[in-house]
């Protein structure tokens, strides 16, 4: 589908995790979105060095009634301050869909590796697969600072509890004194190899900050995954 101008009308906002908020829009003019693609959002933000323009992954699946973007709200910039000030009914401009970070066709397993807010395209991809009734094996690995900062945690863990083809493994780098019995530390080769049982025949998708994407890509290559089976999407902070 061609890239189109999109009119976005805010429906609601919600807290998704500690320091993370979702914005749900009615999107007029948006069509043909594939899970994993993104929108270019434009607002009037005086003083913004990037002229009020940012890209956001579409975190919702095509079956859902509203378009959702989800972003970290720590260290709020001029742009994010403007975004946070929106109220239901406010309209902003967008352009999309954009991007090629989409799930492969065929029956090869997928391994998703998400650094923090990099989980947003994977939320859309998994929901899309659920709604379409497909059963390609997916393993999602997430890395966050603390458990309370994991976006979509309850929702996605609920999916995994009832869907046989979806497996989720998590690690945190700053565990609380109590209440976390999962893995602790950054993603490394040993942990990835241990929990991603389909890695030898999988296609790996990596999303998150640029340093995370580069580091995990190198780790996957060290585990003998060919470069043509590693797909990366770096999220630049703003």
Helices (H), the chain: 78-85, 120-132, 153-162, 189-195, 210-222
* Mean pLDDT computed over 57-82: 93
Q: Report the relative pairing of strands 20-28 and 67-72 from DSSP bridges.
A: antiparallel
- Quick one: how far is CA 37 from the chain centroid? 10
Q: Identify any residues that bridge with 184 across adjacent strands, giving them in sequence order.
A: 172
Given this model, what pLDDT does residue 1 score?
Answer: 60
What is the DSSP secondary structure assignment for residue 185, as one 8-state letter? S
Tell me the pLDDT band of 197, cut-offs 50, 70 and 90.
Answer: confident
Dihedral sign from CA coordinates of 11, 112, 103, 127: negative
Given this model, what pLDDT does residue 236 score?
Answer: 82
Select from 3.20.20.220, 3.40.718.10, 3.90.550.10, 3.40.50.80 the CATH code of 110-234: 3.40.50.80
Given this model, what pLDDT does residue 75 score?
Answer: 74
What is the fold, at CATH topology level, of the domain defined by 4-98?
Elongation Factor Tu (Ef-tu); domain 3 (2.40.30)
Per residue in 133-176, pLDDT (tens digit) is 998 999 999 999 999 999 999 999 999 999 999 999 999 999 99
* Mean pLDDT computed over 81-107: 96
- Model confidence, pTM: 0.95
């Amino acid at each position: 589908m061609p890239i189109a101008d999109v009119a976005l009308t805010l429906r609601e906002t919600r807290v998704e995790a500690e320091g993370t908020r979702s914005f749900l829009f009615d999107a007029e003019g948006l069509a043909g979105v594939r899970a994993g693609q993104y929108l270019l959002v434009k607002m009037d933000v005086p003083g913004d060095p990037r002229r009020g323009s940012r890209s956001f992954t579409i975190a919702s699946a095509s079956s859902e009634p509203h378009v959702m973007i989800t972003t970290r709200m720590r260290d709020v910039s001029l742009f994010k301050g403007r975004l946070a000030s929106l109220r239901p009914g406010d309209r902003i401009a967008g352009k999309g869909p954009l991007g090629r970070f989409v799930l492969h066709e065929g029956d090869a397993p997928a391994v998703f590796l998400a650094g923090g807010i990099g989980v947003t395209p994977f939320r859309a991809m998994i929901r899309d697969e659920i709604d379409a009734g497909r059963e390609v094996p997916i393993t999602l690995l997430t890395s966050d600072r603390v458990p309370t900062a994991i976006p979509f945690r309850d929702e996605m863990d609920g999916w995994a509890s009832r869907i046989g083809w979806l497996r989720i493994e998590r690690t945190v780098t700053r565990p609380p004194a109590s209440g976390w019995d999962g893995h602790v530390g950054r993603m490394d080769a040993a942990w990835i190899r241990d929990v991603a049982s389909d890695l030898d025949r999988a296609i790996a998708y990596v999303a998150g900050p640029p340093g995370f994407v580069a580091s995990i890509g190198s780790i996957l290559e060290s585990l003998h995954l060919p470069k043509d089976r590693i797909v990366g999407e770096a999220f630049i902070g703003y």
